[in-house]
């Protein structure tokens, strides 16, 4: 019972790199350092590497299920847990994805409000972004892929800006290596879950890839790219900030940009925040695409209608999140749920699916 | 029908974005961009803020305009200053922030908050302590620039080629937040009509403690970073001096027994060129003597300086961080208790590379 998608709607396997990296690398990267460093201090870069390796494992698990099932998350859930429980689980995942879009959208608007325009209203800005998202997602998966390709390639120059703070850095801050216990390391991995999540969308767009089996290595490359960028940013942050100072900074990555001074631009972080709009759009697009696609399959409704509903919910909740403390609390919950979905749900699904698969073979 | 609804929706969104999504514009010509700000003590918990705004005259000369206001909070003084400013005063182009000595003695922690919290303030901002009143220092005009740019160029020049160690707001905050190290700032004062860097102000936490002894400035900078081109005056005999120029330096910290009672030995390697000497001759024996004397003098100055830091319980040289980075399960409290009594030795190696064009 596999899903067949017409060839003209599918994308080349190598584009999975941009889809995976594009959805991982977004809002979390601007602020993930503090939460990790507050637990493991100067060893935070190690937990970034460990998380990266764990995610490689998860990608492998997802592909091993998908390659057998030839479907997507909804069919896998149905085959593993039966129709009712399976669909219920899928709906939970869709709700999680929806709240993730709210996190990304609202966090970005908050950054614009704090760093650039304090008087900017949330709702007109959200409306314009969501209009663009509607336009992109209704144009189909190929356009969504194209947008995530551009969003990885166009702002790539920002990578070089992370080398500038090294001038004022002290590499002694990284020593001594591995000065924290395994328990602390494990706890710190939990805080990185939100910034690394994004790979779960493979479970949705797998049928839309030509020769999907061959795309696995590109998914791994995508995750590798994300991990190395996070590692670079984490190391630079740790050598640039003293530990106690880092604990009081909300967006360390934007603070890294504050030290950059160009003859024509006094405040580089404004260029950074503006470029981040390009980085952030495809995440929201891929997420909305996945969520609406899931609803379409479960309830057999048109994807466009599902999308309009999701956009409306996202818009309303984003507007209700008005204060920093509320947004922070929402992000915290989101991070907990991300951790649960990525590191508990997917491995359990993996085990259950393979048991069911073996049983069905025998039967 | 559906198409019409869609078009209406799109138009509605565009219109609402245009009407409600606007923020008030700030036109550069209608703003007063402050280039320097100074804080003075004005009674318990009150500060007097002075802002300097460059004025670009039609004859291409640059003048100064200063605003002053008194309040408990820095941002509130900004509002009060705006009461007497024709154009809105903003601080996005701030280059220098000065704290008067009196204010610094009472602690500047609360005043630093605005510099950190406001995203429009650069991390490269140069903070300094004013010897005397900051207002007095800022209202005067020096050189051909406005005071803010002049002061920032003055400090910058002395960081690059003089004896002010590399610092900016970011590095200052790093030291201020860190439990292991204490910050320092340059001390700026007036000398007649001119302004000059009078030395280094040492802080304990957010409070100004004392100024670094003039003789210790060279060794202070050498122990913080690599010197690229500095000058060093060496006393050979009672009234005989020699100047070593283009001094390069490197230093290395070694820590023994970090777990229990740390012992720190600092190796400093200095290379320089003789540029001016009293009592002309510079033969081989004389050079050897200069090297020996320089080593002795630097070691003496270094030991004295570190000893005085230990006595006042401050650590602007990041020795605590050096020990922390070499010790597993480092105990901050224990280190801070031990710090005044631990053994710190300094060993200097001197190389005289050249002696100019005469012998």
Asked if B326 has any chain A CB less than 8 Å from its own CB, the reply is yes
- CB A343: neighbour CB atoms within 10 A? 20
pLDDT on residue B59: 84
CB of B39 closer than 8 Å to CB of B132: no
Percentage of residues of chain A with pLDDT beyond 90: 40
The model's pLDDT over B219-233, given as tens digits with 9 standing for 90+, comes to 899 898 888 878 888
Per-domain boundaries in chain A: 7-350
Cβ contact A173–B24 (<8 Å):
no
Q: Is the pLDDT of residue B112 over 90?
A: no
pLDDT on residue A88: 92
The mean pLDDT value for B126-139 works out to 89
SS3 B313: coil
**Set of chain B residues whose Cβ sits within 8 Å of the Cβ of A174:** 325
Mutation target to probe the B interface, by most B beta carbons within 10 A, among A168, A237, A270, A277 is A168
Distance separating alpha carbons of residues A147 and A142, to the nearest angstrom: 9
**Set of chain B residues whose Cβ sits within 8 Å of the Cβ of A175:** 325-326
The model's pLDDT over A91-121, given as tens digits with 9 standing for 90+, comes to 999 999 999 999 999 999 999 999 988 888 8
Asked if B20 has any chain A CB less than 8 Å from its own CB, the reply is yes
Q: What letter would DSSP give residue B132? A: S
**Set of chain B residues whose Cβ sits within 8 Å of the Cβ of A121:** 20-21
- Chain A neighbours among B 31-90 (CB < 8 Å)? none
Closest-approach residue (CA) in chain B for A173: B325
Cβ contact A121–B21 (<8 Å):
yes
Q: How confident is the model at residue B308 (pLDDT cuts 50, 70, 90)?
A: very high
Asked if B170 has any chain A CB less than 8 Å from its own CB, the reply is yes
Asked if B179 has any chain A CB less than 8 Å from its own CB, the reply is yes
- CB A29: neighbour CB atoms within 10 A? 19
SS3 B330: coil
CATH class for the domain made up of A7-350: mainly alpha
Cβ contact B178–A128 (<8 Å):
no
pLDDT on residue A288: 93
**Set of chain A residues whose Cβ sits within 8 Å of the Cβ of B148:** none
Distance separating alpha carbons of residues B260 and B256, to the nearest angstrom: 9
DSSP states of A295-362: HHHHH---HHHHHHHHHHHHHHHHHH--SHHHHHHHHHHHHHHHHHIIIIIHHHHHHHHHHHHHHHHH
Residue B89 zone, left/alpha/beta (φ > 0; ψ -120 to 50; rest): beta
Of B14, B249, B88, the closest CA to residue A132 belongs to B14
Residue partners of B95: CB distance under 8 A and separation at least 6: B35, B36, B122, B125, B126, B148, B149, B151, B152
Of A90, A143, A135, A120, the closest CA to residue A273 belongs to A120
At B55, which helix (H) or strand (E)? Answer: strand B47-56
> Could you give the ipTM of this predicted complex?
0.88
Of A124, A172, A266, the CB nearest to B16: A124
**Set of chain A residues whose Cβ sits within 8 Å of the Cβ of B21:** 120-121, 124-125, 128
The model's pLDDT over A311-351, given as tens digits with 9 standing for 90+, comes to 999 999 998 888 888 888 988 888 888 888 888 899 999 99
Asked if B23 has any chain A CB less than 8 Å from its own CB, the reply is yes
Cβ contact B92–A266 (<8 Å):
yes
pLDDT on residue A218: 93
CB of B163 closer than 8 Å to CB of B217: yes
Closest-approach residue (CA) in chain B for A118: B23
Cβ contact B17–A244 (<8 Å):
no
**Set of chain A residues whose Cβ sits within 8 Å of the Cβ of B177:** 242, 244-245, 248
Cβ contact B23–A258 (<8 Å):
no
Asked if B338 has any chain A CB less than 8 Å from its own CB, the reply is no
- At A70, phi and psi to the nearest 5? 55, 30
The model's pLDDT over B147-183, given as tens digits with 9 standing for 90+, comes to 888 999 999 999 988 888 999 999 999 999 998 889 9
Cβ contact A179–B20 (<8 Å):
no
Cα angle B168, B310, A169 (rounded to 5 degrees) comes to: 30
Of B16, B123, B178, the CB nearest to A259: B123
- Give the closest-approach CA distance of B255 to chain A in angstroms: 13
Asked if B24 has any chain A CB less than 8 Å from its own CB, the reply is yes
pLDDT on residue A363: 65
The model's pLDDT over A222-260, given as tens digits with 9 standing for 90+, comes to 999 999 999 999 999 999 999 889 998 989 999 999 888
User: B213-359: what fold?
Assistant: GMP Synthetase; Chain A, domain 3 (3.30.300)
Helices (H), A11-72: 16-24, 28-40, 44-69
State chain A's mean pLDDT as an integer: 89
**Set of chain B residues whose Cβ sits within 8 Å of the Cβ of A169:** none
Closest-approach residue (CA) in chain A for B173: A245
Q: Identify the bridge partners of residue B51 per DSSP, sorted by sequence position.
A: B37, B67
- Give the closest-approach CA distance of A173 to chain B in angstroms: 7
Distance separating alpha carbons of residues A76 and A206, to the nearest angstrom: 12
pLDDT on residue A2: 61
Q: How confident is the model at residue A82 (pLDDT cuts 50, 70, 90)?
A: confident
Of B326, B259, B332, B270, the closest CA to residue B301 belongs to B270
Asked if B7 has any chain A CB less than 8 Å from its own CB, the reply is no
Of A123, A175, A266, the CB nearest to B93: A266
B223 CB-side CA count, 13 A:
28
The model's pLDDT over A159-190, given as tens digits with 9 standing for 90+, comes to 999 999 998 888 888 888 888 888 988 888 88
- At A259, phi and psi to the nearest 5? -80, -15
**Set of chain A residues whose Cβ sits within 8 Å of the Cβ of B23:** 117, 119-120
Judge residue B123's burial from the number of C-beta atoms within 10 Å of its C-beta, 0-12 exposed, 13-18 middle, 19 or more buried: buried
Instruction: Tell me the residues of A at the B interface, defined by beta carbons under 8 Å apart.
Output: 114-115, 117, 119-121, 123-125, 127-128, 131, 168, 170, 172-176, 179, 240-245, 248, 254-255, 258-259, 261, 266-267, 269
DSSP states of A106-172: HHHHHHHHHHT-TT--HHHHHHHHHHHHHHHHHT-HHHHHHHHHHHHHGGGGHHHHTTGGGGG--GG
Q: Is the pLDDT of residue B325 over 80?
A: yes
The mean pLDDT value for B296-300 works out to 90
Q: How confident is the model at residue A191 (pLDDT cuts 50, 70, 90)?
A: confident
* Strand pairing class (B230-237; B184-191): unpaired
Mutation target to probe the A interface, by most A beta carbons within 10 A, among B9, B119, B165, B181 is B119
Cβ contact B13–A170 (<8 Å):
no
Cβ contact A261–B124 (<8 Å):
yes
Cβ contact A127–B124 (<8 Å):
no
Q: How confident is the model at residue B280 (pLDDT cuts 50, 70, 90)?
A: low
pLDDT on residue A7: 81
């Amino acid at each position: 019972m596999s899903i067949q998608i017409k060839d003209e709607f599918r994308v080349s396997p190598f584009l999975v790199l941009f889809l995976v990296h594009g959805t991982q690398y977004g809002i979390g990267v601007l602020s993930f350092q503090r939460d990790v460093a507050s637990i493991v201090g100067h060893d935070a870069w190690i937990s970034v590497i460990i998380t990266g390796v764990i995610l490689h494992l998860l990608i492998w698990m997802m592909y091993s299920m998908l390659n057998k099932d030839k479907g997507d998350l909804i069919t896998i859930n149905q085959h593993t847990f039966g129709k009712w429980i399976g669909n219920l689980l899928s709906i939970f995942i869709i709700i999680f994805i929806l709240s993730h879009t709210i996190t990304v959208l609202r966090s970005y608007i908050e950054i614009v409000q704090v760093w650039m325009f304090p008087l900017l209203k949330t709702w007109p800005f959200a409306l314009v972004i969501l209009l663009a998202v509607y336009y992109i997602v209704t144009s189909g998966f190929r356009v969504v892929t194209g947008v995530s390709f551009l969003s990885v390639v166009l702002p790539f120059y920002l990578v070089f800006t992370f080398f500038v703070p090294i001038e004022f850095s002290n590499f002694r801050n990284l020593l001594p290596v591995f000065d924290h216990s395994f328990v602390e390391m494990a706890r710190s991995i939990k805080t990185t879950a939100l910034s690394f999540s994004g790979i779960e969308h493979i479970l949705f767009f797998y049928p839309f890839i030509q020769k999907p089996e061959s795309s696995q290595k590109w998914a791994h490359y995508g995750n590798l790219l994300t991990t190395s960028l996070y590692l670079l940013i984490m190391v630079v942050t740790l050598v640039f900030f003293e530990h106690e100072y880092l604990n009081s900074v909300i967006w360390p990555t934007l603070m890294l940009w504050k030290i950059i001074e160009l003859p024509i631009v006094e405040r580089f972080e404004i260029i950074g925040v503006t470029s981040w709009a390009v980085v952030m759009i495809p995440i929201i697009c891929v997420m909305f695409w996945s969520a609406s696609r899931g609803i379409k399959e479960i309830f057999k409704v048109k994807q466009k209608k599902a999308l309009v509903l999701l956009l409306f919910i996202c818009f309303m909740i984003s507007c209700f999140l008005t204060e920093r403390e509320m947004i922070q609390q929402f992000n915290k919950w989101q991070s907990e749920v991300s951790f649960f979905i990525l590191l508990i749900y997917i491995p359990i699904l993996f085990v259950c699916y393979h048991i069911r698969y073996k049983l069905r073979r025998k039967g | 029908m559906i198409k019409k609804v869609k078009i209406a929706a799109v138009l509605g969104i565009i219109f609402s974005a245009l009407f409600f999504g606007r923020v008030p514009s700030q036109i550069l010509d209608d703003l007063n961009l402050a280039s320097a700000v100074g804080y003075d003590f004005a009674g318990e918990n009150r500060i007097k803020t002075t802002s300097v705004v460059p004025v670009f005259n039609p004859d291409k000369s640059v003048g100064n305009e200063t605003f002053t206001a008194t309040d408990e909070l820095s941002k509130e003084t900004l509002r009060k200053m705006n009461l007497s400013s024709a154009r809105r005063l903003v601080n996005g182009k701030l280059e220098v922030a000065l704290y008067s000595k009196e204010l610094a003695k009472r602690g500047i922690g609360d005043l630093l908050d605005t510099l950190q919290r406001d995203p429009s303030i650069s991390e490269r901002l140069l903070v300094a302590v004013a010897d005397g009143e900051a207002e007095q220092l800022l209202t005067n005009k020096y050189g051909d620039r406005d005071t803010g740019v002049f002061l920032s160029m003055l400090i910058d020049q002395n960081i690059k080629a003089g004896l002010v160690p590399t610092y900016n707001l970011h590095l200052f905050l790093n030291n201020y937040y860190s439990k292991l190290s204490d910050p320092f700032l340059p001390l700026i004062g007036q000398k007649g009509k001119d302004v000059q860097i009078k030395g280094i102000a040492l802080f304990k936490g957010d409070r100004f403690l004392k100024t670094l002894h003039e003789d210790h400035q060279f060794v202070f900078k050498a122990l913080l970073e690599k010197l690229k081109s500095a000058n060093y005056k060496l006393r050979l005999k009672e009234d005989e001096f020699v100047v070593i120029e283009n001094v390069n330096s490197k230093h290395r910290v070694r820590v023994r027994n970090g777990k229990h009672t740390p012992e720190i030995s600092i190796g400093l390697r200095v290379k320089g060129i003789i540029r001016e000497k009293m009592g002309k001759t510079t033969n081989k024996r004389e050079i050897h003597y200069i090297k020996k004397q320089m080593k002795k003098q630097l070691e003496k100055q270094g030991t004295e300086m570190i000893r005085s830091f230990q006595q006042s319980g401050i650590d602007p040289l990041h020795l605590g961080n050096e020990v922390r980075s070499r010790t597993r399960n480092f105990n901050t409290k224990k280190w801070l208790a031990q710090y005044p009594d631990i053994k710190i030795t300094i060993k200097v190696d001197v190389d005289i590379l050249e002696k100019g064009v005469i012998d």
